[in-house]
Amino acid sequence: MSGPDSLFRLDSLRIGDILVPGLRVGSDRGLAALGVDGVLGLDAYADLLLTVDYPAARLVLSRGTLPPPDGADILPAVRVGPFIGVPLDVGGVRETGVVDTQGGMLFQAVPQAAERLAFAETPRVVGRAVVGGGAPVEVKAARLAGDLKLGRHVFRRPSIAVHPLPPDIPSRMTVGTRALRHFRLTIDQRSMRVRLSRADTTAIAD
Amino acid sequence: MLALACLLSLAPIVVARPPAVRRPGPDSTAVPIELLDGDRAVVLATLDGRGPYRLAVETAPPTWCWPLVSSASWRCRPRA
C-alpha cells in the first residue's frame, strides 16, 4: 500500500476550525527523524493566509488577502522554484531569501551568493550539514560587514552561514527560523505577498 | 547545532498540488504552536478525523512523512 515517497489523498485535514479537503500527501519514512508525525507543506494553506506568530506561539489560518506591498512590513514574494522568496538588502546587495520555517539557521547563502557579500571577516568552517538528504557539505560562517534589511526590519551585522545546496533547491539565500522567530509572519500565496510584523522597531542583534 | 539546523531545512519534494475544492467554513482559526528547538513551529491537526498528529509547519513543497500511512487501518487512498 505504501512505501517511501508513496502518494495518497486525504479526505480532510483539520487545524482548529479550518478544514482542508482533498489534500495529496506523500509518505517518506526517512523524515520521521524530524521528531514529528508529518510535515505540513505549502499546499495545505495555498488558499489561506498562514500566520506563524512566533512571539505569541500561535498559528492563525484565515481567509482573505494581504494589502499591497509597502516595502516596510508587507513585501512582494516571488517563487524560487517551489519555494517562496522575499527581497533582502544584504549590506547593500540585493538578494532574494527563501522563507524557511523549518530551517534553524539565521541566514544562509550559497557560495556564489556569498562571493558578492562583504563580510567582517573571512568565513571560516563551523561544521558540516546535510541538506535535503544530500551528501554532507562543509558549512562556513561569518558576520556581515553591514546590516541586513528585510523591509523596514534591520538585522545588525548578522552571521551568514555559507554552504551549497542540492541542485533541486534553487535558492541563493535562506531566511531561517532564528530570523523569523522575531516576527509575526504571514504568507499569502494567492497574491504572493509576505508580511513580517514586529512591535519592537529597534535593530535585531542575533 | 548548525549542522542539525541545516539538516532540518528545505526538505525534499514529494507531492503535487491537488485539484481541491474548498468547502465553506470558518474564516479564521487560531491555535497554539509548539516551537521545537525554540523556533521550529509544530501544530496539532487531525487527518481524516484521526489524531491529533504533530505536524511541522513548513514553507517548502508539500512533504508529508508518516510511518502511519503504511498502517492497514489508514484511510488514505493510493494515488488515483
More confident residue, A163 or A4: A163
More confident residue, A94 or B9: A94
Partnered with residue A51 across adjacent β-strands are A60, A186
Q: Which of B22, B29, B65 sits opposite A27 (nearest CB)?
A: B65
**Mutant choice from B31, B58, B77 vs A, greatest count of A C-beta within 10 A:** B58
For chain A, give the percent of residues with pLDDT over 90.
Answer: 68
Question: Is the distance from CB of A99 to CB of A83 less than 8 angstroms?
Answer: yes
Kindly indicate the confidence band of residue A148, based on its pLDDT and cuts at 50, 70 and 90. Answer: very high
Kindly indicate the confidence band of residue A38, based on its pLDDT and cuts at 50, 70 and 90. Answer: confident
Question: Does the pLDDT of residue B80 top 50, yes or no?
Answer: no
Cβ within 8 Å, pair A104-B37: yes
Residue of A197, A186, A201 whose CA lies nearest to A73: A197
Question: Is the distance from CB of A107 to CB of A147 less than 8 angstroms?
Answer: no
Cα-Cα-Cα-Cα torsion A119, A121, A125, A128, nearest 10 degrees, comes to -30
Question: Does the pLDDT of residue A170 top 70, yes or no?
Answer: yes
Question: Does the pLDDT of residue A96 top 90, yes or no?
Answer: yes
Give the domains, in start order, of chain A with CATH numbers: 1-39 (no CATH), 74-197 (2.40.70.10)
Question: Does the pLDDT of residue A88 top 80, yes or no?
Answer: yes
H helices of A95-168, where?
Answer: 111-114
pLDDT, tens digit, for every residue of A187-203? 999 999 999 999 998 99
More confident residue, B56 or A24: B56
Question: Does the pLDDT of residue A39 top 80, yes or no?
Answer: yes
Task: List the single residue in B with minimal CA-CA distance to A20.
Answer: B22
What confidence score (pLDDT) does residue B57 get?
Answer: 92
Q: Which of A21, A83, A84 sits opposite B23 (nearest CB)?
A: A21
What confidence score (pLDDT) does residue B62 get?
Answer: 60
What confidence score (pLDDT) does residue A178 get?
Answer: 96
Cβ within 8 Å, pair A40-B55: yes
pTM listed for this prediction: 0.84
B23–A contact, CB cutoff 8 A: yes
d(CA A57, CA A75): 23
Per-residue pLDDT averaged across B16-44, rounded?
78
Strand (E) positions, chain A? Answer: 6-15, 18-27, 38-40, 49-53, 58-62, 74-76, 78-80, 83-90, 93-99, 107-109, 124-129, 137-143, 148-150, 153-155, 159-162, 173-175, 184-188, 193-197
Kindly indicate the confidence band of residue A1, based on its pLDDT and cuts at 50, 70 and 90. Answer: very low
Question: Does the pLDDT of residue B64 top 90, yes or no?
Answer: no
ipTM of the modeled complex: 0.90
Grid cell of B15 as nine digits: 507531492
Cβ within 8 Å, pair B10-A43: no
What confidence score (pLDDT) does residue A55 get?
Answer: 96
* Integer-rounded Cα radius of gyration of chain A: 18
Cβ within 8 Å, pair B53-A26: no
Cβ within 8 Å, pair A40-B43: yes
Per-residue pLDDT averaged across A127-139, rounded?
82
Amino acid at B53: Y
Edge-to-edge order in the sheet of strand A58-62: A74-76, A193-197, A184-188, A49-53, A58-62, B28-32
- Region of B7 (left: φ > 0; alpha: ψ -120 to 50; beta: rest) is alpha
Cα–Cα separations (whole angstroms), residue A206 to A159, A179, B22: 8, 8, 41
CA distance B73 to chain A (A): 11
Residues of B (32-71) whose Cβ lies below 8 Å from A: 32-49, 53-70
d(CA A58, CA B75): 29
- All residues at 6 or more sequence positions from B25 whose CB lies less than 8 Å from its CB, including other chains: A17, A18, A19
Q: Which of B15, B21, B55 sits opposite A36 (nearest CB)?
A: B55
Lowest model confidence (mean pLDDT) among B18-27, B50-59, B71-80? B71-80
What confidence score (pLDDT) does residue A6 get?
Answer: 59
Grid cell of A135 as nine digits: 551528501
